[in-house]
């Protein structure tokens, strides 16, 4: 008796949608061409000025030339004729990220104010490749951070196993060390690849005086003229980012202050956070603290102390005292996210006043051993310049950080709003707890998306049918502005057309981010991630814009993008 094989074959349904310009795009084209079939340079110039808010739309001819090059093939007669855009060309231009991005890409803010007037892109434990307990230490994440525009690199310094050199590692953990000199050389090589503005190295110092002297020698020999030395120990204000272009700055506790803090910790170890970034509670064994204290003034190398441009410290005793502004001294104060939450509840106005002249650094609480992050807005709204993040801790908090530092051309320095800089008498300073009236209204229209069919395998979202995409969008900012909404899901289509509008009243638009996420609806389980981005509201360009999306780690997809429109009232 013969045998046979029965093969069940499934036919996958993939809709081959013909991409059509949205009705609003067609209407804008017709309004500016007065019914003609092509848009010339003068008409495009008028569109850029009236609909897109471009003050000096002088590049209309260039846009037309570059848009025509996007055509799959150009008829011979079209090449000979005077360049002009069809409605399809016009749509392709609007949907091109290169030609029509959603935010400005140039440095445009005043860069001549003191450092304390800027938010500064800040990393936490910049040498870690993964979690806080057992991942490798390396210069690779330092290089990546600098390439991404991070301006503050944190290094934790410890004696190596033979006590004759310096390792960088997370103390009292299983993290494997990397040599300090390797980190310094990588910082020198990559410091200004993404931005010309200063790189600040925050050193967590767990060294003996002889090793501090060795650090001073390494730093001077490695950086040479790139290193910025303070002119004097006292100053009324920090230098500006402009004055410190392509310079390296060292920030740490002066030796005596470090040893005093270490002694305080050992006497009060039960009250310390398990991961205090300025004085690691997970530190390696160190020589006797009291012996070092007695000889600190005599043996601490003056050359090491002279390298410290920004003096660091942690609050001692009452927080009100720690936040007092000394007219003759500038400093950097560090608080954990938990300490910040307490300080914000009871000393909000003091925080704002302190950060008008001094630097405030916030770091993740010690229980974030998986390198997760926290809500950065608590720090930002109180004027904290250095909201330190684990740059390898991918997730929504880090997406906010990526979006926030798209401001000012992605240079890593963002000028703080004027309301955080005004030092008014009689408690007239900005009060983060106050409720504010609506200052600006943002209208966002989500037309459509495309590019998944290029960047993803056809079975990535669903094995047997096209995906069902929907968009979540909203505002991240002060609590009264924070909200999330979503579109309907468009079933079985790789090129979803939502055509939905959303309105966001904003009380503090200066600090608001527009959050955008696309997901694929899965009826039988968890929805699939399909892209995200965060855009600073203050940098949004009016009108129709192409919005590229990024993966979970913040890497931009090659093709995935949304067509959106932004309007302000």
Three-class SS state of 287: coil
Active site annotation includes 170: yes
Cα separations (Å) of 198 from 105, 111, 127, 297? 19, 11, 19, 30
Which of 124, 206, 382, 519 is an active site residue?
Answer: 124
- Is residue 147 within 8 A of residue 190, CB to CB? The reply is yes
**Tokens standing for 247?**
């310079």
- Is residue 407 exposed (0-12), middle (13-18) or buried (19+ Cβ within 10 Å)? buried
Q: How far is CA 291 from CA 158, 208, 269, 309, in A?
A: 18, 11, 19, 27
Which element (helix H / strand E) includes 361?
strand 359-363
Cα–Cα distance between 394 and 399 in angstroms, integer?
8
Q: How many CB atoms lie within 10 A of CB 153?
A: 25
Cα angle vertex 178, ends 556, 220, to 5°?
A: 95
Q: How far is CA 277 from CA 30, 120, 265, 433, in A?
A: 59, 18, 13, 28
Query: To which H or E segment does residue 261 belong?
Result: helix 255-267
User: For residue 251, what are the β-bridge partners?
Assistant: 202, 310
Which residue among the candidates 32, 170, 347, 519 is catalytic per the annotation? Answer: 170
Angle at 69 between CA 63 and CA 71, to 5 degrees: 115
Q: Give the active site residues.
A: 124, 170
């Amino acid at each position: 008796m013969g045998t046979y094989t029965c093969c069940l074959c499934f036919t996958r349904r993939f809709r081959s949608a013909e991409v059509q310009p949205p009705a609003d795009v067609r209407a804008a084209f017709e309004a500016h061409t007065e019914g003609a079939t092509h848009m010339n340079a003068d008409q495009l110039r008028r569109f850029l000025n009236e609909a897109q808010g471009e003050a000096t739309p002088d590049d209309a001819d260039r846009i037309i030339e570059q848009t025509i090059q996007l055509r799959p093939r150009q008829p011979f007669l079209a090449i000979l004729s005077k360049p002009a855009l069809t409605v399809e060309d016009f749509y392709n231009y609007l949907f091109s990220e290169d030609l029509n991005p959603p935010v400005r890409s140039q440095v445009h803010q005043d860069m001549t104010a003191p450092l304390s007037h800027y938010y500064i892109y800040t990393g936490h434990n910049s040498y870690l490749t993964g979690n806080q307990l057992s991942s490798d230490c390396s210069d690779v994440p330092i290089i990546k951070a600098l390439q991404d525009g991070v301006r503050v690199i944190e290094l934790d310094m410890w004696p190596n196993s033979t006590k004759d050199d310096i390792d960088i590692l997370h103390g009292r953990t299983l993290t494997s060390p990397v040599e300090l000199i390797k980190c310094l050389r990588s910082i020198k090589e990559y410091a200004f690849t993404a931005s010309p503005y200063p790189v600040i190295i925050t050193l967590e110092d767990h060294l003996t005086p002889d090793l501090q002297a060795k650090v001073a020698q390494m730093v001077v020999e490695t950086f040479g003229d790139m290193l910025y030395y303070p002119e004097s120990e006292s100053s009324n204000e920090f230098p500006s980012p402009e004055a410190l272009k392509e310079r390296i700055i060292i920030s740490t506790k002066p030796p005596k202050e470090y040893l005093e803090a270490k002694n305080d910790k050992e006497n009060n170890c039960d009250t310390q956070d398990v991961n205090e970034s300025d004085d690691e509670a997970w530190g390696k064994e160190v020589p006797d603290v009291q012996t070092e204290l007695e000889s600190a003034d005599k043996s601490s190398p003056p050359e090491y102390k002279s390298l410290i441009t920004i003096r660091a410290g942690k609050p001692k005793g009452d927080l009100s005292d720690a936040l007092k502004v000394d007219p003759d001294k500038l400093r950097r104060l560090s608080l954990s996210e938990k300490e910040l939450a307490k300080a914000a509840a009871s000393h909000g106005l003091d925080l704002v006043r302190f950060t008008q002249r001094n630097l405030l650094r916030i770091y993740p609480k010690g229980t974030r051993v998986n390198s997760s992050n926290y809500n950065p807005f608590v720090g930002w709204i109180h004027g904290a310049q250095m909201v330190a993040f684990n740059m390898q801790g991918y997730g929504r908090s880090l997406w906010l950080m990526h979006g926030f530092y798209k401001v000012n051309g992605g240079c890593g320095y963002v000028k703080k709003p004027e309301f955080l800089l005004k030092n008014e008498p009689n408690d007239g300073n900005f009060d983060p707890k106050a409720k504010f009236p609506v200052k600006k209204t943002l209208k966002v229209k989500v037309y459509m998306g495309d590019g998944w069919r290029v960047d993803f395998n056809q079975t990535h979202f669903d094995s047997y049918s096209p995906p069902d995409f929907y968009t979540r969008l909203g505002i991240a900012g002060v609590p009264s502005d924070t909200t999330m909404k979503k579109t309907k899901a468009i079933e079985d289509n790789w090129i979803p057309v939502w055509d939905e509008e959303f309105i966001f009243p904003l009380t503090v638009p200066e600090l608001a981010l527009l959050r955008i996420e696309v997901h694929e609806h899965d009826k039988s389980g968890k929805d699939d991630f399909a892209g995200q981005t965060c855009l600073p509201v203050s940098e949004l360009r009016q009108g129709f814009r192409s919005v590229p999306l990024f993966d979970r780690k913040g890497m931009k997809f090659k093709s995935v993008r949304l067509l959106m429109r932004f309007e302000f009232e």
